[in-house]
Structure 1
Amino acid sequence: MKTIFSTLFLVVFSVVFHAQNKWETAKKTALENKELILLNFSGSDWCIPCIKLHKNIIETEDFKKLETENVIVYLNADFPRNKKNQLSAELKKENASLADQYNQKGIFPYTLLLNAEGKVLKTWEGLIPGDALAFSKEIREIKETQKQ
């Protein structure tokens, strides 16, 4: 009986977990923690400016502090081309949906700062100018203006 209950619980949990995609999870987390959402469209294995953006900004400690200090929820909508880097069908579908909503021109990289409801507060087309510290400071300043 215990095994049947455990199996049933895991099946129900996995269905609920998969039904809540990363976009919905990001919005929920941002709302609960009073954070902004940073949505980045990238081509991780073919777009040179995207690769530079990730290396010089997204992967830095200054940027990661934005996440650990509950300033932003970071969401990457990636569109890789190499076969070895392909995403799951579910993730491809979600990224395409995000692109339909926020990146209809197909710009790469394209970065948006959104509130928890998904309203666009600021956008950056192409490689973000400056360094990670300046970018982090700009995001913090925008968040401060949202509190008022």
Structure 2
Amino acid sequence: MKKILLILLFIVSPMLIQAQELKWYTNLDEAVKVSEKSKKPLLLFFTGSDWCGWCIRLQNEVLKTPEFTAWAKENVVLVELDFPRRTPQPDAIRNQNAQLQQFFGVRGYPTVWFAKANFDKTANKMNFEQLGKTGYVAGGPAAWLQGANQIIKKT
């Protein structure tokens, strides 16, 4: 009986962990479709995942916490726009990220922009309404989420 319970635990545990994980989009078009359907703004996380110390710190202190996970599921569509130095990246993603970096005027990492987006089919281009931005905020998830809530309440 103990063996059966142990086997079930090993089978079910990964499913439970996976169910709690957030979906971070890397393709903006996919994220915008979800954003339009759900009526949630985009959270655009500009990061240097394999070299930026403050980005890693923001990830560990805020973005990987249960508080952030619960908040994000209710409030935003997550988009990671990565600028790695050592990790290979497809050209299409690298070009997309560079264009968004230029559009939003990102000069340092981490930068988190909140925006509403929609695709204008007649002009064949993406339109953004910039809601506000933030970055690393000391004080853990409570302090970071307080600022994020002030930004998205403008919607």
Is TM (by shorter chain) over 0.5? yes
In the other structure, the counterpart of 1:11 is none
How far apart in 2 are the matches of 1:67 and 1:23?
17
2:76 aligned with 1:75: no
The letter of the residue matching 2:50 is: D
In the other structure, the counterpart of 2:142 is 133
Q: Which moved more, 1:22-31 or 1:54-63?
A: 22-31
Any stretches of 5+ residues in structure 2 without a counterpart?
1-25, 119-127
Shift of 1:141: 4.3
The letter of the residue matching 1:119 is: E
The structure in which a higher percent of residues are strand is 2
Shift of 1:56: 0.8
How far apart in 1 are the matches of 2:28 and 2:89?
16
CA RMSD, 1 decimal = 1.9
| TM-score relative to the length of structure 1 | 0.72
Runs of 4+ deviating beyond 4 Å:
none
The number of residue pairs the alignment matches comes to 121
Shift of 1:43: 0.6
1:98 counterpart (72, 97, 100): 100
The structure in which a higher percent of residues are helix is 1
Q: Which has the bigger relative contact order, CA under 8 A and spacing at least 6?
A: 1
Identical-residue share of aligned pairs (%): 26
Contact 2:35 2:42 (8 Å CA) reproduced: yes
Q: SS of the residue aligned with 1:87?
A: coil
Q: SS of the residue aligned with 1:25?
A: helix
The letter of the residue matching 1:134 is: A
